[in-house]
Amino acid sequence: MEKIVIIGSAGSPNNVIKLLKINQKLNIPILLCIHFEKSAIENFANSIKKETGHEIFIVSGPKTLKSGLYIAEGGKDLVFKTNRVLMSGVYKKTKTHPSIEILLNSIEKLNDKNFHIFVLSGLGNDGANIAQSLEQKGVKFYIEKKPLFDYLPRSFLNNLKNYLHLTINEMKNIIIQINEKRRRELVK
């Protein structure tokens, strides 16, 4: 099953909502790993649900993956335990939680090329050191063109050879295509 991961930091929350306003029922899991203060996660989740109408799961314990949006509970990291089970917790002392690096490390261990990672605006380089390894395993990357803060996207660009450099609307179209492809598979 195709899985989408949207990562970002400063300047990305509004674009997350733009990406998710696809006017379609979700047929795929989408994981959100956006740097947020612990206390802001619930409000962010509520805003996403209100703006997009999609079901969003705040992951606190083991959660079996199905269609919908997933975000770690405040102050914790989102990780894959298996291809189909997510968890949240603090897995390493890092400056920010949720940590992009910790999520991407858990994806790397799965050996699953059915991931599409969308890199949005942000500061720092959280997770960029794992990008090349994921790329070699067949994971696809989409990097925001002209982000508000280009530090995070640029750090991924510097570690990748194959990626698409896209506007938010172009990224949204890719998400719609992946979602429609999954809908057709489910109908068969």
pLDDT at 84: 93
Residue 128 DSSP label = H
Per-residue pLDDT tens over the stretch 90-110: 877 777 779 999 999 999 999
Report the alpha-carbon distance of residue 159 to residue 13 in Å, rounded.
24
- What is the C-alpha separation between 188 and 181, in angstroms, rounded? 11
Model pLDDT for residues 73-89, shown as the tens digit of each residue: 988 999 999 999 999 98
pLDDT-flagged residues of the chain (< 50): none
In the set 12, 77, 97, 126, the catalytic residue is: 126
Cis peptide before 98 (omega within 30 of 0): yes
**Under CATH, to which class is 3-187 assigned?**
alpha beta
116 flagged as catalytic: no
What does the buried/exposed string (b/e) look like for 42-78 if buried means 16 or more CB atoms within 10 Å of the residue's CB? Answer: eebbebbeeebebebbbbeeebebebbbbbbbbbbbb
Active site residue 126: yes
- What are residue 106's phi and psi, to 5 degrees? -70, -35
Catalytic residue from among 9, 88, 99, 106: 9
Q: Where are the domains of the chain?
A: 3-187
- Single out the catalytic residue among 12, 35, 88, 116: 35
pLDDT for res 153? 98
The confidence score (pLDDT) of residue 44 equals 92
